[in-house]
Structure 1
Amino acid sequence: MIVLRNLSPLRVFLAATVILVSLGLYVVANAIQFASDYRAVTHTYTVLQHLDRIESLKHQVVAESRGYLLAGRAENRDSFWRIGGALQREADVLAEHVIDNDAQHGRAVALRRALDARLRLSVQAMQSWRAGATMPGDAPLLMAIRHGDRDIAMRLEHLRSAENALLSTRSRRAERSAWLTLLAAGIGIPLSLLLIGHAQRRLARENRVRRQAEAAASDSNAELNATVQQLARLSDSMAALSQYSSMLQGASDAQELYEITASTFRRLLPGLGGLLYVIRASRDHAELVAQWGGAVAPNDPAPALQACWSVRRHAPFAMDDLRHGLRCSHIGRPHGAEDVHGLCVPLSAHGEVVGWLSLQGEGRGRIPDESLAIRLCEQLSLALANVRLRESLRHQAVRDPLTGLFNRRYLEESLAREIARCQRRAQPLAVLMLDVDHFKSFNDRHGHAMGDAALSAFARMLKTRCRPEDIACRYGGEEFTLILPETDLATALERAEDIRAGAAMLRIGDAGDAMLRITVSIGVALMPEHGEVGLELMRAGDRALYRAKHEGRDRVAVADVPVAVGEPMREVY
């Protein structure tokens, strides 16, 4: 203080000027360094985002190629090419971002080559599948694919580790620049307060600038933290979606699909109650097939399709307040005093709505992670459509399309199984061979359409006279076979007479036209009297059927002696 008093005003001004100029230069230099460090940190975060994007696109393109290999859908193939192109472009962008770092640039170029090689292996696998119409089984190709995946993962990890190291270094440098700036300002401000008013005003002005810079840096740091958290949530969501998709693809039937869905939603969306509705084949109403979590509102277990707004609009429908706002009619008003919100998402695949998912939770507003729930429903829609398609194909493989009875292939498999089961239990088994009399003449006189109508009517009658354990099959043409497990000869004859009488009572045609009639002849064979092998029993029943035809038709005949294995089965018209 004494020294300052002894100095002339000019010298004080000069001293203040020197101090302020020195302080200003130092602050500016540190601000420039801080801005440079901030840009470097931002650049590092950008590179890490590109790495996460490349890893996500790589998982997606592999999933689409596997989906094409599993189901052969053109959608998977087109998605593979689209995502593959995006993956290559993302790798090029990454290489451009790290071009200022020779080591990282080399790693990025090597990663691009590894990605190109991996895409070529997937293309080779899909082309091999398309050429052979089977899943690729080339062991060298599979080993190359696994090696490619490991190589890409290793290169991504090396790039990410190097960027993380750069991020740590640059962050420490930015913090050091900020602290040095604060230290210089802390020393310069008290000194400048002792100087003249002009120096004081200059210091106040620079102080305001400094506060603005700190606020901008704080906002930028908050935005960066929010971005990092969002990327972490996105990464977790992508991993969960990938796991859920793979589990859905491995589901054997619809019930297992429902169980996987309930478990996944309970784990990823805790605190929410869920109800899964599937539209029945009649398309008149839906059925509640799965439910998890706590029930927060009453729900209709069998609602009409128009009861859900998401099905009407073919889009997700959010309900902010189920107590007072607009809601789907399959959801009742919540009990109690707590607010409840909800979300309904339609399950649509191949242009058809197959059901919907209803989520409910306590509180008002939108449910958390709504986008994740919608993406999960997209995976569920495709999986549910695929399961239904598999069940339809399985049904077509064992059913006769005209009569709805089992076909000959199923007959041969089932007869062998039922014979073995009855032999283990020491029980008899009867086989009935049935044939519509004069069916060729019936077709010639009345046309094939009327002949098909006659066969369909007879099949419906046959189903009504079968027990749940009986197996009714269309053997071929106008011939039918009925397997009667644990049935003795007397019961088999009684059942055969009942079927013959039922056929005679059938009337074919429209009520306004002349009603046509049919009759059937039936041959009965019994295990073990007429054989213990399916072919022997069918030959014995066929021989009895042949005898019933020659004895006048419209009757039942019992096999008398076992038929030799080499004897051919007769075709009777």
Structure 2
Amino acid sequence: MMMPLRHLSPLRGFLAATVILVALGLYVVANAIQFASDYRWVTHTYTVIGHLERIESLKHRAVAESRGYLLAGQRASRDAFWRTSGELQREAKLLVEEVGDNVGQRRRAEGLRDALERRMKLSADAIDAWRPGLASLDEAMVARIRASDADLSRRLEALHRAEGALLDIRSRRAERSAWFVLLAAGIGIPVSLLLIGHAQRLLARENRTRKRAEAAASRSNAELQATVSQLAELSDSMAALSHYSSMLQGASDAQELYEITGSTFRGLLPGLAGFLYVIRASRDHAELVAHWGSPVASNDPAPALQSCWAVRRHAPFAMDELRHGMRCPHIGRPAGAGAVCGLCIPLSAHGEVVGWLSLQGEGQGAVPGASLAVRLCEQLSMALANVRLRESLRHQAVRDGLTGLFNRRYLEESLAREIARCRRRQQSLAVLMIDVDHFKAFNDRHGHAMGDAALSAFARLLRDSCRPEDIACRYGGEEFTLILPETDAAQALARAEDIRAGAALLRIGEPGAALLRITTSIGVAIMPEHGDVGLELMRAGDRALYQAKHAGRDRVVLADVAMAEPNA
């Protein structure tokens, strides 16, 4: 075996491996098609068996309903019998259609269908013949029913046996196809890999020999010095790129990215001035977030996206001379008489442009270090996209999507933190449990869109009424919670009354249409009077809220100490 491989040329090795892989692929595809066909037949058999089981279940149900009617004379049992009988006929018809490809099974299914019709007719005749006070059916009718039941059982058993035999055959056939595919892959792939590996080794040996010969013929002292210089420059660039990438990965927010970028470009490309633009979430214009160096030409601090050719072309755009040549509209004409070159590089990640970098330097032609700047921008693009994604996920984790308020998870974490902080300072803390009155009726009457608009409008009111240290949350549905640190009962009641009055003044609806209004009920709990644990305060606030609802809604109620006690 080793002698043929030793003398096998790389081309012949690749050709042999290609032929084996093509043959293996064709064989695997053919067996996969056969396996899919066998699997469909297995599924078909299970479908038929399912029909048989449903037919048997429906038959027993129909018989039970007819007997129930004959025993008790209840009209519900008779109606249930007719419904079940109809379902049984439809199921029998579907069974005949499913086994239409098998002559024997179709004949058995048709026989079963006819036997079911006869059996249902016997039950129907018995139901029609029933009269109040009739003790039992006549013996002839009972004998016919028993014979029909026995016939149905035989036919169902025959169909079950036939489908079971078909299932065994088809399952073995599918397993055989699968084993053939595995066997072909297990033999063909290693052989192909062996041939490819051997050919690759021969190619690598020939390439090494050729490169050594070419290097020996063309090597000179000047070229060697140039190569060493290029390698040193490349090594420095790669080291700087690696350091820049690691710094970006450690940045916690976008502002740190901008500071790291400005410092890195200032150190690696000292003769260039830079302007870093980030496209806003609205994607209507960009924003200048960082700049460094001494620019010769001014830059628009908030340009439109179409004002940069790099963004339009999704590729770096070089400007040999900003004074007379073509330039991006967001760059002004340079001051002074000297030539100025420029380069705009798009920041693209995941197929989307998130910003761009504009560089300019003195002189005409290409910007020095353009290739390094492009590689640095590739790292910046991914880091900026990752920071944006982290910020988006952080926002989604703690914010409610409809109202923009904090969610219940953030509420539970923040309440415990604020309670501990107020306890250390020996300050009180208030918890307001707020509910939009009759919101379900509002939703049912005006629609979910108007209900969402009402919740959003109230959330804006709640957010506008908050101090910087307050925490407004959507507790769930139409329920809201407001945490007021360092707030006593009098202040909390005043704040709650302001919120209630403000909610009553809200008007919801489209301009020109009938405007709707809402009211709110608010329960107020104070720490430490009603507890010093978040759950206790919220329960006390809930009880006060329910008291406000029972008292007529659209009001504020302060929890009392008895309501806050667990066993009260």
Would the aligned equivalents of 1:540 and 1:562 in 2 still touch at CA under 8 Å? no
Would the aligned equivalents of 1:531 and 1:562 in 2 still touch at CA under 8 Å? no
Report the equivalent of 1:379. Answer: 379
SS of equivalent to 1:433: strand
Q: Compared with structure 1, are the counterparts of its residues 92 and 354 closer, same or farther at alpha carbon in structure 2 (3 Å cutoff)?
A: farther
Report the equivalent of 1:507. Answer: 507
Percent identical residues: 79
Report the equivalent of 1:299. Answer: 299
Cα distance in 2 between the residues matched to 1:372 and 1:482: 52
Query: Amino acid of the residue matched to residue 479 of structure 2?
Result: E
Report the equivalent of 1:469. Answer: 469
CA apart distance, 1:97: 5.0
SS of equivalent to 1:400: coil
**5+ residue gaps, structure 2:** 1-196
Query: Amino acid of the residue matched to residue 557 of structure 2?
Result: A
Q: Compared with structure 1, are the counterparts of its residues 94 and 221 closer, same or farther at alpha carbon in structure 2 (3 Å cutoff)?
A: farther
* CA shift digits 1:367-389 (9 cap, x unpaired): 11211111111111111111101
Cα distance in 1 between the residues matched to 2:479 and 2:301: 44
Q: Compared with structure 1, are the counterparts of its residues 426 and 486 closer, same or farther at alpha carbon in structure 2 (3 Å cutoff)?
A: same
SS of equivalent to 2:246: helix
Cα distance in 2 between the residues matched to 1:523 and 1:495: 12
Please show how residues 119-198 of structure 1 align to structure 2 within 5 Å: none
CA apart distance, 1:92: 7.8
Q: Compared with structure 1, are the counterparts of its residues 462 and 262 closer, same or farther at alpha carbon in structure 2 (3 Å cutoff)?
A: same
2:404 counterpart of 1:404: yes
2:332 counterpart of 1:359: no
Query: Amino acid of the residue matched to residue 256 of structure 2?
Result: E
Cα distance in 2 between the residues matched to 1:365 and 1:99: 40
Report the equivalent of 2:277. Answer: 277
2:519 counterpart of 1:523: no
Q: Which moved more, 1:87-96 or 1:302-311?
A: 87-96
Would the aligned equivalents of 2:422 and 2:485 in 1 still touch at CA under 8 Å? yes
Cα distance in 1 between the residues matched to 2:482 and 2:349: 39
Report the equivalent of 1:314. Answer: 314
Report the equivalent of 2:248. Answer: 248
Cα distance in 1 between the residues matched to 2:198 and 2:239: 21
2:495 counterpart of 1:495: yes
Query: Amino acid of the residue matched to residue 475 of structure 1?
Result: Y
2:224 counterpart of 1:231: no
2:465 counterpart of 1:435: no
Would the aligned equivalents of 1:278 and 1:356 in 2 still touch at CA under 8 Å? yes
* CA shift digits 1:40-86 (9 cap, x unpaired): xxxxxxxxxxxxxxxxxxxxxxxxxxxxxxxxxxxxxxxxxxxxxxx
Q: Which moved more, 1:504-513 or 1:482-491?
A: 504-513
SS of equivalent to 2:452: helix
CA apart distance, 1:248: 1.7
SS of equivalent to 2:487: coil
2:339 counterpart of 1:339: yes
Report the equivalent of 1:368. Answer: 368
Tell me how many residue pairs correspond in the alignment. 372
Query: Amino acid of the residue matched to residue 420 of structure 1?
Result: A
CA apart distance, 1:95: 5.1
CA apart distance, 1:468: 2.1
CA apart distance, 1:403: 1.1
Q: Compared with structure 1, are the counterparts of its residues 455 and 89 closer, same or farther at alpha carbon in structure 2 (3 Å cutoff)?
A: farther
CA apart distance, 1:300: 2.2
Cα distance in 2 between the residues matched to 1:391 and 1:90: 47
CA apart distance, 1:293: 2.1
CA apart distance, 1:467: 1.9
CA apart distance, 1:421: 2.1
Cα distance in 1 between the residues matched to 2:542 and 2:238: 62
Query: Amino acid of the residue matched to residue 319 of structure 2?
Result: M
Query: Amino acid of the residue matched to residue 403 of structure 1?
Result: T
Q: Which moved more, 1:273-282 or 1:548-557?
A: 273-282
Would the aligned equivalents of 2:537 and 2:564 in 1 still touch at CA under 8 Å? no
**5+ residue gaps, structure 1:** 1-86, 101-162, 175-215, 569-573
Cα distance in 1 between the residues matched to 2:567 and 2:295: 67
SS of equivalent to 1:245: helix
* CA shift digits 1:217-259 (9 cap, x unpaired): 79x5544443443333333333332332232222221111112
Query: Amino acid of the residue matched to residue 399 of structure 1?
Result: R
Give the alignment's Cα RMSD to 1 decimal. 3.0
Query: Amino acid of the residue matched to residue 328 of structure 2?
Result: C
* CA shift digits 1:131-181 (9 cap, x unpaired): xxxxxxxxxxxxxxxxxxxxxxxxxxxxxxxx9xx99xxx9xx9xxxxxxx
Would the aligned equivalents of 1:305 and 1:311 in 2 still touch at CA under 8 Å? yes
CA apart distance, 1:499: 0.9
* CA shift digits 1:521-568 (9 cap, x unpaired): 001111222222211211111111111111110000001116557579
SS of equivalent to 2:423: helix
Cα distance in 1 between the residues matched to 2:403 and 2:509: 16
Report the equivalent of 2:447. Answer: 447
SS of equivalent to 2:379: helix
Please show how residues 16-95 of structure 1 align to structure 2 within 5 Å: none
Query: Amino acid of the residue matched to residue 433 of structure 1?
Result: M
SS of equivalent to 2:333: coil
CA apart distance, 1:420: 2.0
Query: Amino acid of the residue matched to residue 479 of structure 1?
Result: E
Report the equivalent of 1:540. Answer: 540
Query: Amino acid of the residue matched to residue 414 of structure 1?
Result: S
SS of equivalent to 1:252: coil
Cα distance in 1 between the residues matched to 2:549 and 2:556: 9
Query: Amino acid of the residue matched to residue 432 of structure 1?
Result: L
Report the equivalent of 1:556. Answer: 556
Q: Compared with structure 1, are the counterparts of its residues 283 and 259 closer, same or farther at alpha carbon in structure 2 (3 Å cutoff)?
A: same
Cα distance in 2 between the residues matched to 1:555 and 1:278: 48
Would the aligned equivalents of 2:274 and 2:291 in 1 still touch at CA under 8 Å? yes
Would the aligned equivalents of 1:273 and 1:361 in 2 still touch at CA under 8 Å? yes
Would the aligned equivalents of 1:536 and 1:563 in 2 still touch at CA under 8 Å? no
SS of equivalent to 2:295: coil
Query: Amino acid of the residue matched to residue 442 of structure 1?
Result: F
SS of equivalent to 1:360: strand
Query: Amino acid of the residue matched to residue 372 of structure 2?
Result: L
Cα distance in 2 between the residues matched to 1:298 and 1:507: 48
* CA shift digits 1:243-301 (9 cap, x unpaired): 32232222221111112212221222122111111111122221111122223322222
CA apart distance, 1:427: 2.5
Q: Compared with structure 1, are the counterparts of its residues 567 and 256 closer, same or farther at alpha carbon in structure 2 (3 Å cutoff)?
A: farther
Q: Compared with structure 1, are the counterparts of its residues 567 and 274 closer, same or farther at alpha carbon in structure 2 (3 Å cutoff)?
A: farther
* CA shift digits 1:340-392 (9 cap, x unpaired): 22111111112221111011112221111211111111111111111101100
Q: Compared with structure 1, are the counterparts of its residues 538 and 518 closer, same or farther at alpha carbon in structure 2 (3 Å cutoff)?
A: same
* CA shift digits 1:402-452 (9 cap, x unpaired): 111100000111111222222233322211100011122222333323222
TM-score, length-scaled by structure 2: 0.60
TM-score, length-scaled by structure 1: 0.60
2:280 counterpart of 1:288: no
Would the aligned equivalents of 1:342 and 1:361 in 2 still touch at CA under 8 Å? yes
* CA shift digits 1:488-513 (9 cap, x unpaired): 22221121111111111222233344
Cα distance in 2 between the residues matched to 1:88 and 1:361: 53
Report the equivalent of 2:55. Answer: none
Report the equivalent of 1:34. Answer: none
Cα distance in 1 between the residues matched to 2:338 and 2:423: 64
